Amino acid sequence: MADTPSPARPALDNAAARALAADFPLLGREVNGSPLIYLDSGATAQKPRAVLDTEREFYEGQNAAVHRGAHTLAALATESFEAARATLARFVGAREDEIVWTANATEALNLVAYGLSNASAGRGGEAARRFALGEGDVIVTTEGEHHANLIPWQELAARTGATLRVIPILDDGTLDMAAAATLIDERVRVLTFTHVSNVTAVINPVAELVALGRAVDALIILDACQSVPHQAVNFAELDVDFAAFSGHKMLGPTGIGALYGRSELLNALPPFLTGGSMITTVTLESAEYLPAPMRFEAGTQQVAQAIALAAAADYLDAVGMDAIHDWEHTLGARMLAGAREIPGIRVLGPADMARRSGVVALDVDGVHAHDVGQFLDDRGIAIRVGHHCAQPLHRRLGVTASTRISPYLYNTTDDIDATLAALAEVRGYFGADR
């Protein structure tokens, strides 16, 4: 695990962002006769040539099954696969044996939930007893979660008899920390929450929440999907037990994500998926499992995708995560200020950029979010509309759907200004300003 911070990188500006955009082939295309302005990176980010080339080069030069066979290609593929794990571990402040490859963050969160469920059913032996849940135990999450960090815990509660508690949010989208202090009591066994909201852009107070969880000896699980791609993250320093994130949001391929887990916890947690590649000994009656992380990587792995994700991490590191964070903050502040000046637009989340990421979600009075999205798409502007897999959060905020603008390292202030200009026309176009 890296002990020293990455060296400072030059700050990003419009010229630097345009230069970076040239690395992304898809960003050079037109949509509906206009140059593409891509502002949907919160859903999925575009891929630089370095990532695309890395995946293709693996298939062209090393393609073989990993951790199987003794031939040259198998050895080369295994070496590259495990080197990718080491790269990603360094990127998030972890040890190599603390990174489990998954299909996505949703699978990573379900892996933990089903591991706890298996422990609650008596699987895993003495080492897994610490994870067992039952009646009287409590799982705590928040009202601001993506469905991927809500539904698995609903299901776990239903399977084990545990109770699910939810920390409410305030009107500005921030967590009600007074309520959190009351809800997180000695019955709480699991505390799980998002680092950064994919709707309100709220950056949750991780240190405060971790302190509350540690005081009652709860497992602490972090949804880091909206933080790892956009700011420097060190899971060891955050003091969480597990964390999940996706590759496709951080310039990597689809079909690859990762679970971080403390080594001692991963090695005690019963596996979720079982089969080949995660065992030491199998009889017709039973099996013994490999240590983590391999015990959670049953079957044929996403080898090319993992190697390409490491290339994405290297690309981001070369640009500099602090530089990326600061530039997104600049773009988000510009979008936030501009949107607040347009009549009939309500911005979701806090007004203070110090409490936000660069994401801006908004509600246009009298116009459905899908119509807003279509209006912008006609001008070549790609944004996200809908409930963003966060229906309870939207319901709390009094809207059924929202329009989300999520910039990244390859966007410029011109992209933001063009989007604001288009948004200023929406209500008039649909006759909602009468």
User: How far from each other are the two terminal CA atoms of the chain, in whole angstroms?
Assistant: 59
Distance CA 74, CA 56 (A): 17
Q: What are phi and psi of 242, to 5 degrees?
A: -140, 155
Q: How far is CA 16 from CA 13, 319, 423, in A?
A: 5, 10, 26
What would the two tokens of residue 392 be?
């309870």
From 31, 127, 389, 424, the catalytic residue: 389
Q: What are phi and psi of 360, to 5 degrees?
A: -130, 115
Among the listed residues 252, 259, 323, the one whose alpha carbon sits nearest the alpha carbon of residue 108: 259
Residue with tokens 């890395």: 54
Q: Can you give the length of the chain in residues?
A: 434
**Catalytic annotation present for 389:** yes
Q: Are 80 and 57 in contact (CB under 8 A)?
A: no
| Active site residue ranges | 389
